[in-house]
């Protein structure tokens, strides 16, 4: 099988590396060529363009930052989808809104391309260690074809349902992540104001049953003040925007998620965007 990977950021570069470790015949493309260098050393072929990258691929994985970027690379006139082989599979691992996945699926059908949405749960360490969880939307027989490659990059695959359901579920997960981090940060800051030791709060609160389990890892960032990016705050803001956009499409109020989105927007405006999303704590602390 000829496999192509498009988008080699924090997550995509590590996912592609894991494919190479399993001796997959891999072609890669990224807008910034520097991101391809380490993969080329591992044995990847580097394409000069996205269109070139997909031409001979049986399966194309994409891990891009926003729906707008996915559209520009794949869906615009003359873009990648029009250069893929008939019957090839496009697996979009990008975090996008469900209505965009529906648009991508429709365009793929028109081009005789098979499509599945497969965003992931996990951050940089999970991608490095092939411990991602894939949320997939699409036909079961299509998922079976790509499953061996998902297993090379992750530890679990959840088939949520038909096309768009993977993207929909990922949106719900990230809504909870953002709001939980905000709640945790506000709680710690109030505890400090009441004279409780910051070290005590960061050690004890994450281990309570009322805390989201991931806060154990983010508490270490808060303790050290080192917010080395695992999942950029700016992309969490993007995901909250997509959630509120989807809520509008569904006529479903999202009171807390909308408030959380605006807080993340201000943090991004103040220069926290390229830090890990746990830096929302630092933003609130300095506000």
Number of helices (H), then strands (E), in the chain = 13, 9
Q: Kindly give the interhelix angle for 98-110 and 165-193, rounded to the nearest 10 degrees.
A: 160
CATH of 168-286, one of 3.40.190.290, 1.10.1040.10, 3.40.190.10, 3.60.150.10: 1.10.1040.10
Residues of the chain with pLDDT under 70: none
> Other C-beta atoms within 10 Å of 286: how many?
9
pLDDT of residue 239: 98
* DSSP H/E element including 90: strand 89-92
Could you tell me the fold of the domain covering 2-161?
Rossmann fold (3.40.50)
pLDDT in tens, 266-279: 999 999 999 999 99
List of residues 6+ apart from 47 with CB closer than 8 A: 4, 27, 28, 29, 53
Structure confidence at residue 34 (pLDDT): 94
pTM of structure = 0.95
Instruction: Give pLDDT, residue 136.
Output: 98
Instruction: Kindly list the domain boundaries of the chain, sorted by start residue.
Output: 2-161, 168-286
Distance between CA atoms of 105 and 107, rounded to whole angstroms?
A: 5
- Output the pLDDT for position 119: 98
Question: What is residue 104's predicted lDDT score, i.e. its pLDDT?
Answer: 98
pLDDT tens-place string over residues 187-232: 999 999 999 999 999 999 999 999 999 999 999 999 999 999 999 9
Q: Do domains 2-161 and 168-286 have the same CATH topology?
A: no
Q: How far apart are CA 139 and CA 185, in angstroms?
A: 40
């Amino acid at each position: 099988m000829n496999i192509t990977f498009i988008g080699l950021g924090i997550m995509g570069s590590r996912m592609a590396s894991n494919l190479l470790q399993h001796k997959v015949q891999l072609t890669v493309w990224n807008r910034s060529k520097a991101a391809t260098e380490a993969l080329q050393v591992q044995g990847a072929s580097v394409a000069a363009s996205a269109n070139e990258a997909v031409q001979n691929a049986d399966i194309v994985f994409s891990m891009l930052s926003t729906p707008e970027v996915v559209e520009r690379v794949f869906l615009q006139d003359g873009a990648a989808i029009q250069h893929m082989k008939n019957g090839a599979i496009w697996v979009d691992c990008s975090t996008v809104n469900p209505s965009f996945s529906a648009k991508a699926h429709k365009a793929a059908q028109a081009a005789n391309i098979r499509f599945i949405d497969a965003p992931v749960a996990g951050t940089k360490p999970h991608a490095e260690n092939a411990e991602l969880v894939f949320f997939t939307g699409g036909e079961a027989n299509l998922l079976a074809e790509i499953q061996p490659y998902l297993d090379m990059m992750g530890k679990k695959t959840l088939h949520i349902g038909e096309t768009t359901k993977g993207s929909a579920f990922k949106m719900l997960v990230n809504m909870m992540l953002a709001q939980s981090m905000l709640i945790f940060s506000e709680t710690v800051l109030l505890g400090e104001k009441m004279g409780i030791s910051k070290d005590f709060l960061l050690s004890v609160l994450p281990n309570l049953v009322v805390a989201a389990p991931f806060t154990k890892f983010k508490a270490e960032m808060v303790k050290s003040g080192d917010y080395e990016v695992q999942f950029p705050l700016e992309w969490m803001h993007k995901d909250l925007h997509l959630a509120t956009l989807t809520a509008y499409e569904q006529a479903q109020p999202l009171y807390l998620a909308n408030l959380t989105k605006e807080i993340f927007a201000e943090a991004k405006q103040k220069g926290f965007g390229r830090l890990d999303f746990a830096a929302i704590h630092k933003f609130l602390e300095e506000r």
